[in-house]
Amino acid sequence: MSIIAVENLSKIYPVAIKQPGLKGTLNHFFRRTYREIKAVSDVSFHIQPGEMVGFLGANGAGKTTTLKMLTGLIYPSNGRVKVADYTPFKRQHKFLQKISLVMGQKQQLLWDLPALDSLRINAAIYNIPEKIFQQRLHELSEMLSLQSKLTQPVRKLSLGERMKAELLAALLHHPQVLFLDEPTLGLDVNAQVAVRKFLEQYNQRYDATILLTSHYMADITALCDRVLLIHQGSLIYDGSLDGLLERFAPCRQVTVELSQAVPKSELVNYGDIEAIEGQQVKFFVSRENLTTTISRILAQLPVSDLSVNDPPIEEVIGRLFATGQVDN
């Protein structure tokens, strides 16, 4: 049974239209007109218990709006949504105990107090007994390598340490479903790796369901086998990362090491040249012509080494969002 079930979910915002000048101001005040902005349009998907799913989209695509509807922060315009068998916008107490939302650009910890004080407040809000609180505090802080930092004021923690403390606070009540919106935003590489490792361990240990949005594709590739891709408010892909490449990257990346230099005018006959660095050439070659092209390269060029790879997932997603071309 799905722990997250979304059917034809939409969110439409009315936006007031105001013309310039005094007349426009008076009309805006007395006879206001509106236009509709579709932030999310007819989105449907199901997520099973224990899944870690990446939620991808450009800025303004509808990711955060969808997360806010899934957590009950905003009311959907149309459609149905169930999370852990609850309707999110009803904001029932038992529902709130089963979920958690972590936003990388927001904080819940009190800035001037030690993180431990905020954690005790959370424990009181969720009615967590002292014995269980201490047990979870020890377990989670150990997983996050945060034991020695909890008594320091939050403002004295590094950005990575603050993010870890935010995760600890969000998971203290052991939610079944964790919504993460850019959890590694602004973190350095080492902190990003630490957060990813923790999320993977938490998922494996507690079978928690995680829906993750991130602009760092390393977060998605490291944690998620399945991705949802939203574009201009509509869900355009739901499947594996490999399937995403198959659909939106019709070319393979062929890297050739040459034993001697070859003029660029000759190299263009073998594919779209991505880069030439010394005697290394990178081509984009369509999948249907791949076998024939590789045979020609081996037969006609002085090749010392050759490799074939899918283009980097970051490049595929970036090109997709930049061009807006979502259909094959």
Q: How far apart are the C-alpha atoms of 148 and 186, rounded to whole Å?
A: 23
Is residue 45 located within the same domain as residue 137? yes
Cα distances (angstroms) measured from residue 317 to each of 181, 231, 312, 313:
18, 11, 9, 6
Q: Are residues 206 and 270 in the same domain?
A: no
Q: 160 and 176 share a domain?
A: yes
Same domain, 241 and 254: no
- pLDDT value of position 317: 76
198 and 232 both lie in a single domain: yes
Ranges of residues in the chain with a pLDDT under 70 are 322-328
Question: Which residue reads 């949802």 in tokens?
Answer: 228
The Cα 131–Cα 184 span in angstroms is 31
Q: How far is CA 316 from CA 184, 194, 236, 242, 322, in A?
A: 21, 26, 15, 12, 10
What confidence score (pLDDT) does residue 323 get?
A: 60
Burial of residue 236, with CB atoms counted within 10 A of its CB: 0-12 exposed, 13-18 middle, 19 or more buried:
middle
Q: Are residues 294 and 215 in the same domain?
A: no
- Predicted pLDDT of residue 215: 78
Burial of 52 (0-12, 13-18, 19+ CB in 10 A): buried
Is residue 319, in this structure, part of any structural domain at all? no
The reported pLDDT for the residue numbered 322 is: 66
Residues 286 and 211 in one domain: no
Statement to judge: residues 299 and 241 lie in one domain: no
* Residue 324 maps to a domain: no
Per-residue pLDDT tens for 140-195? 999 998 988 999 999 999 988 998 999 999 999 999 999 998 888 888 888 888 88
pLDDT at 328: 43
pLDDT of residue 182: 87
Q: How many domains does the chain have?
A: 2
CATH number of the domain encompassing residue 233:
3.40.50.300
Burial class (CB in 10 A: 0-12, 13-18, 19+), 279: middle
SS3 state at 59: coil
Q: Any bridge partners for residue 253, and if so which? A: 284, 309
Q: Is residue 322 part of a domain?
A: no
Host domain of residue 99: 4-245
Other beta carbons less than 10 A from residue 263's beta carbon: 7
- Beta bridge partners, 16, equal 34
The pLDDT value given to residue 326 = 53
